[in-house]
A = this chain, B = another copy of it.
Amino acid sequence: MAIKNKTKYAILGVLCLKPCSGYDIKKFCDKTISHYWSENFGHIYPVLKQLQEEHFIQPSEDKASAKRNVFQITDEGKREFVEWLMLPPEIQSPRSELMLKLSFGNYIAIEHVIAMLGEVKDRNIRNLAYYRELEGSYLTNDAAKKDPAFPYWLAPLRHGILTSEVNIRWCEETVQNIKQYAPSNLEEDAYV
């Protein structure tokens, strides 16, 4: 196989936590891990079928759940998932549309670039506020702190916080640099 199917492992992971339907899996992703992982129906359903054929998941043994198309992970599935967990994460080929656009910033009016960076900054401010709130509720929850999974749930959240903070600083710095180094590109170099 050319490229690894990551959706497969994401689904196995979610099913380690609790039996789910395809719909439940999508909901879980959107609600709980959406700031670092996304899934969509177009992939979830075919992969669920494939996982069943591979005997990594099976219809829930609970009668009511089975009727609702709920799946549970098998022992084989758990083994497969844990094996994947221990492999070093693959380096992802980057594709930042923002950076690509920005690197051609001298092709458009400076106002456009500054507005763009303003929007990015605002989005990061909103994200940061949300993360900080989540962090607060985590750190004041003694039950959560005793869960052995606690530091593993905290880690992506902390990454979100630190990343948002740095993005905000970077936006400010970049606007300053643009104003300093390219104050009058409108007349000389811009296409528009």
- For the residues of A in contact with B, the DSSP-based class is helix
The reply to whether B103 and A152 form a contact with Cβ atoms under 8 Å apart is: yes
- Whether B159 contacts A180 by the Cβ 8 Å rule is no
Q: Is the CB of A191 within 8 A of B82?
A: yes
A106 interface residue, CB < 8 Å from B?
yes
Most buried by B among A6, A159, A185: A159
The size bracket of the interface on A is: 35 or more
> With an 8 A cutoff between CB atoms, is A142 at the interface?
no
Give the contacts of A112-169 with B (CB-CB under 8 A): 112-113, 116, 119-120, 123, 145, 148-156, 158-159, 162-163, 165-166, 169
Which residues does chain B contribute within 8 Å of A154, judged by CB atoms?
177, 181
In the assembled complex, how far is the CB of residue A165 from the closest CB belonging to chain B, in whole angstroms? 8
Q: 15 A-B residue contacts at CB 8 Å?
A: A13-B103, A36-B95, A37-B96, A38-B93, A38-B94, A78-B191, A82-B192, A85-B104, A85-B108, A99-B155, A113-B152, A151-B174, A151-B178, A151-B182, A158-B174
